[in-house]
Amino acid sequence: MAGNVTIDHRLLDGRAVRDRILGEVTTRVRDAAAKHVIGRLVSVSIGEHKAAAVYVRGQATAAKKVGLRFEEQVWPSGLTQDECKARIVKMNDDPDVLGVILQRPVPSHIHGRSLASAIHPFKDVEGMNPASIGNIVYNDLALAPCTAAASVELIKATGLNLHGLEVVMVGHSEIVGKPAAFMLMAEGATVTVCHHLTRSVAAHSRRADAVLVAVGKPKFLRADMVKPGAAVIDTARDRRDPAGDFFHRVSSSFRAVPAYGPSAKRSRYSAASGRAAAFPRSFCTRTMCRPSTGRTKVPLGLSRK
């Protein structure tokens, strides 16, 4: 007991993982700033979106904690695709812009993936340029999508040895499921990916040492679908069940019922905190700690190792 709050040590403390990451980045930023000027991070929203504003606040807070300048830009929703692309290209060439974050959603007349492709891979903080995604296949994990990277960090935080670990990835989106699967394979895990056409998710998840859920469907993963002692990492948040128990309020896809194994690990880490925590360290590894000199002339798709 801590005061009137019972501490459940089966729950992974996502905040502790976040704070550790931010602490590491703070040290790197301080060391780099002593050698050269570090550019600013630029958040781009096209039109006003309340959902995007939540992410922007988290990113701004994280940037401030690690000592990075952060600029929020809200562009008019009426801008054309070409006008948006021209602005991004200008930031690619700006030596004072360290990285660009394109917030979602974008207006219906804007092709989001095409616009993300316009962000130079070295300034692609969220890892959404196809070149950044493609580099994951070659085990170049410096700029992976943030939620996928945060999910892998949480699996590591369980203390499980990833070498040969049986992991089931539920969901195969371009921003979480697919990149997380490749990242886990790069760490030596054996990965099975389930999706909406999988005949029996339970048949796969019951044999897994760790289950990573990225479907956004409340209480999708039942306790009887997970073996005792397995780790469950959920990337979503259930905002429709505010009156439920603590775990239901925070983790949308896993239903924690009494039959669940006592040694199992569960996570209260959400996609929002994952984005806020993961982007500084991965970006710092390859880009933040070198002088900002504008766009780097590297062919798209090539490894940046």
pLDDT digits (tens, 9 = 90+) for 131-173: 888 888 888 877 888 888 888 888 888 889 999 999 999 999 9
**What is the percentage of the chain residues whose pLDDT exceeds 70?**
74
Q: Is the pTM of this model over 0.85?
A: no
Q: Are residue 150 and residue 122 in the same domain, yes or no?
A: no
pLDDT of residue 265: 47
Q: Is residue 193 part of a domain?
A: yes
Supply the pLDDT for residue 278. 45
Residue 295 covered by a domain: no
In a domain? residue 8: no
Which of the four pLDDT bands, split at 50, 70 and 90, describes residue 8?
low
Residue 292 belongs to a domain:
no
Within this chain, do residues 106 and 163 fall inside the same structural domain, yes or no? no
Mean model confidence pLDDT for the chain: 78
DSSP helix/strand/coil, 61: helix
116 with 165, same domain?
no
- Strands in 79-145 per DSSP E: 97-102
Structural domain range at position 81: 21-126
CATH number, position 51:
3.40.50.10860
95 and 155 share a domain? no
- Both 56 and 94 in one domain: the answer is yes
Cα 125 to the center of its chain, rounded Å: 11
What is the model's pLDDT at position 243?
Answer: 38
Complete edge-to-edge strand list for the sheet that includes strand 231-234: 11-12, 265-267, 231-234, 210-213, 166-170, 190-194
Higher pLDDT, 300 or 26: 26
Last residue of a domain, one of 126, 159, 185: 126
Question: pLDDT of 27-81, one tens digit each?
Answer: 999 999 999 999 999 999 999 888 888 889 988 998 999 999 999 999 999 999 9
76 cis-preceded (ω within 30 degrees of 0): no
d(C-alpha 133, C-alpha 144), whole Å: 7
- Same domain as 181, residue 108: no
Q: Which of 16-20, 189-193, 271-275 has the lowest mean pLDDT?
A: 271-275
Comparison of pLDDT for 191 and 134, the residue scoring more: 191
User: Which one is predicted more confidently, 302 or 286?
Assistant: 286
Alpha-helical regions (H) of 190-232: 201-205
Among 271, 170, 270, which Cα is nearest to 215's? 170
Number of domains in the chain: 2
- Is a pLDDT exceeding 80 seen at residue 268? no
Q: Within this chain, do residues 152 and 230 fall inside the same structural domain, yes or no?
A: yes
Q: Is the pLDDT of residue 275 over 60?
A: no
Secondary structure letter of residue 153 according to DSSP = H
pLDDT, residue 5, reads 52
C-alpha to C-alpha distance for 122 and 135, rounded to whole angstroms? 12
Token match 């009156």: residue?
243
CA atoms of 291 and 90, how far apart (whole Å): 18
Asked if 62 and 175 sit in the same domain, the reply is no
Q: Both 212 and 254 in a single domain?
A: yes
Q: What is the CATH number of the domain that holds 233?
A: 3.40.50.720
Residue 119 burial (C-beta neighbours within 10 Å; 0-12, 13-18, 19+): buried
Closest CA to 275 of 166, 151, 191: 151
Mean pLDDT over residues 176-195, rounded?
Answer: 95
Q: DSSP code of 18?
A: H
pLDDT tens per residue across span 106-121: 999 999 999 999 999 9
**Rounded Cα distance, 86 and 262, in Å:** 55
Per the domain annotation, does 184 fall within a domain?
yes
- For residues 226 and 210, the answer to whether their CB atoms sit within 8 Å is no
Q: Is there a domain that residue 40 lies in?
A: yes
Q: Same domain, yes or no, for 122 and 151?
A: no
In this structure, the answer to whether residues 29 and 108 fall within a common structural domain is yes
Q: Is residue 303 part of a domain?
A: no
Is residue 38 one of the residues assigned to a domain? yes
